[in-house]
Amino acid sequence: MSSSITGVSAADTAPHGEDPKSALEGDRASTGRLGDRLFGGAATGAGLTVIALVVLIGVFLLSQAIPSLMKNEVNFLTSREWVPSGDHPRFGIALMAWTTVISSILAMLIAVPLGVGVALFITQYAPPWLSRPAATIIDLLAAVPSIVYGLWGLQIAGRYFNPVGNFVTDHLGWLPLFKAGGTPQNTIAFISLVLAIMILPIVTALSREVFAQTPGPHKEGALALGATKWEMIRTAVLPFGKPGVISAAMLALGRALGETVAVMILLSALAPGSPWSWSIFNGGETFASKIASAAAEFDSPQKTGAYIAAGLVLFILTFIVNAIARIVIERRKAFSE
């Protein structure tokens, strides 16, 4: 009946001697293969575009930095001077590198254990009525702009940190790392605390997702063998989630290395000619805050190139951090498999 209505039957459309059902399946497979090719091409193009952008950014930074570096009269990597203009430019990144690295490391030492602990509480201990609102509140911290953190630290948190900083410097000031060098709320120690709060949502969210994906049989098997809750977490949840925690930590480290506005608001720069020390209770400038604070002064190619050279170092540093994280994760996956 349907063949008489349409005028063409499945048997008429199939080649001679071929099953009509097989012909229909072949058409669908051909369409599916076309979709796969289109999607694969689009994904490949997107990946190549990202790689090309990164390479072009690196080439641009290098091309702009080399002329200034060629005129520099001191060692760019070890000098603490920063006089990029004039006929005899002398500039180095030692101070910026120290401030950037130490503040990021301190922020990681605070945020990673705290974030992992919060993620374990949300996924393993908290009841559903508490875990969902807690996860939402933690995630909302990531939506707060950097300038809000800076103003909050400047107007509110700094007042509570000053007594703590003074206590530390009074009792541990004989150590070079804790020697007093300025108002505590304008030091590397305080900006590290603010950075830790800023990167906490990244560590918590990614760790929470990977802990929640721990296979149920692994946890049930550990409990069935007599393990306590903590022993189950230590033997089943943490080993499974270790690659995810490493990824979260490295992503958070990249955020901390490149933070600009909050650091620029809170961290006081060292006055010209003031003594430098290893203390975290001293001022300083990171790569990002130094470039941002001087952006309005790029009045010559030589001076601009000096700051671009500093940005190139930050670019390479971030790239190395992510590459190391990728290597660690791949090695961990191979070991797990």
What pLDDT does residue 56 have? 92
Give per-residue pLDDT as tens, 10-28. 445 455 555 555 655 655 5
Q: What is the largest CA-CA distance in the chain?
A: 100
What stretches in the chain show pLDDT beneath 70? 1-32, 269-275, 331-337
Give strand pairing partners of 82: 91
Quote the distance between the C-alpha of residue 227 and its chain's center: 35
Residue 91: in which H helix or E strand, if any? strand 90-91
Q: Tell me the C-alpha to C-alpha distance, in Å, between residue 148 and each of 85, 160, 187, 257, 264.
A: 34, 17, 18, 18, 12
Q: Tell me the backbone φ, ψ of residue 91, rounded to 5 degrees.
A: -145, 140
What pLDDT does residue 272 have? 58
What pLDDT does residue 79 have? 84
Q: Which residues of 121-139 are buried (b: 16+ CB within 10 A; e: fewer)?
A: ebbbebeeeebeeebeebe
What pLDDT does residue 196 have? 92
SS3 helix, strand, coil % of the chain, rounded to 5? Answer: 75, 0, 20
Domain 72-336 has CATH 2.60.40.10: no
Spell out the residues 6+ positions from residue 223 whose beta carbon is closer than 8 angstroms to its own.
232
Q: Tell me the C-alpha to C-alpha distance, in Å, between residue 207 and each of 118, 200, 223, 265, 288.
A: 9, 11, 22, 30, 27
